[in-house]
């Protein structure tokens, strides 16, 4: 019976909200007010211990960068923090974790789960994932329950064959930017192209690409996840 239900299971977009002192970066996020974006990337021989973190903070100088790096290294879950560079208000670091509960199960790839975004703002982590089956959804819930992590499901959208394509809600410029980025592997892990390369193909600035991608993803989330 289980196999029969699984065969007709539909993929889902899941957004969860996490707030717990056991999570990675909990000490840093407790003291930092600005938005933080986390992107995991597998590293040979090290699994998912490494991650890229983007800290949004404007008008940073050399002393500010050193302050952010020091604050990151003082987080008990972080063993290494390397500054990679700043573009606009985005200050990018590479981190290595040694302790703390991961924001999502380390087995996400094997489970067929795609993590679309992991962003901290206003005291909470918001994780957006594409989940292939209901049984996988239960595995994700078990990950949080087993570690005693407080979480709540903000949105759950189950894809149906009758769903109307959300891309119709996108203006032409945003749709083109999203398609060019997707077809060239911008959303792959690791990325096949940079924002600058996407910008060159579109003939616009890098900041223009960044704005179009953010706005198009925001529109798609609104169109597919909001009831």
DSSP-based three-state secondary structure for 97: strand
Domain 166-225 CATH class label: mainly alpha
Is there a contact between 125 and 119 (Cβ–Cβ < 8 Å)?
yes
- Fill in the DSSP letter of residue 20: -
**Virtual CA dihedral for 2, 13, 113, 8, nearest 10 degrees?**
30
pLDDT of the chain, 227 residues: tens digit per residue:
334 434 446 788 888 999 889 999 999 999 888 899 998 765 555 555 788 999 988 777 778 899 999 999 999 999 999 999 998 888 999 999 888 898 988 788 888 888 888 999 888 999 998 898 888 988 999 999 999 998 888 888 776 544 445 444 577 788 888 889 988 888 887 788 888 999 999 989 888 888 889 888 877 776 665 55
In terms of Cα–Cα distance, which of 207, 190, 225 is closest to 48?
190
Give the bridge partners for 121, in sequence order.
124
Q: List the domain boundaries for the chain.
A: 2-158, 166-225
Write down the pTM of the prediction: 0.65
How far is residue 127's CA from residue 219's CA, in Å, rounded to a whole number? 17
- The backbone torsions φ and ψ at residue 192, rounded to the nearest 5 degrees and listed phi first, read -85, -25
């Amino acid at each position: 019976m289980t196999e029969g239900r699984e065969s007709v299971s539909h993929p889902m977009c899941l957004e969860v909200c996490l707030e717990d002192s056991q999570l990675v970066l909990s000490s840093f996020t407790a003291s930092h007010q600005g938005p933080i974006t986390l992107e995991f990337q597998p590293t040979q021989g090290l699994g998912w211990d490494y991650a890229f973190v983007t800290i949004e903070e404007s008008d940073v100088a050399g002393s500010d960068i050193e302050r952010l790096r020091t604050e990151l290294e003082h987080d008990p879950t972080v063993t290494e923090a390397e500054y990679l560079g700043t573009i606009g208000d985005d200050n990018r670091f590479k981190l290595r974790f040694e302790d703390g509960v991961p924001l999502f199960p380390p087995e996400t790839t094997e489970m067929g789960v795609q993590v679309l975004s992991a962003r901290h703002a206003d005291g909470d982590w918001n994780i957006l994932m594409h989940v292939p089956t209901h049984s996988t959804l239960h595995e994700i819930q078990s990950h949080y329950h087993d570690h005693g992590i407080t979480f709540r499901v903000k949105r759950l959208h189950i894809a149906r064959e009758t769903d109307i394509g959300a891309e119709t809600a996108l203006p032409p410029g945003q749709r083109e930017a999203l398609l060019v980025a997707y077809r060239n592997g911008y959303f792959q892990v690791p990325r096949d192209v940079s924002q600058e390369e996407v910008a060159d193909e579109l003939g616009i600035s890098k900041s223009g690409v960044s704005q179009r991608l953010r706005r198009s993803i925001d529109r798609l989330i609104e169109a597919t996840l909001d009831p």
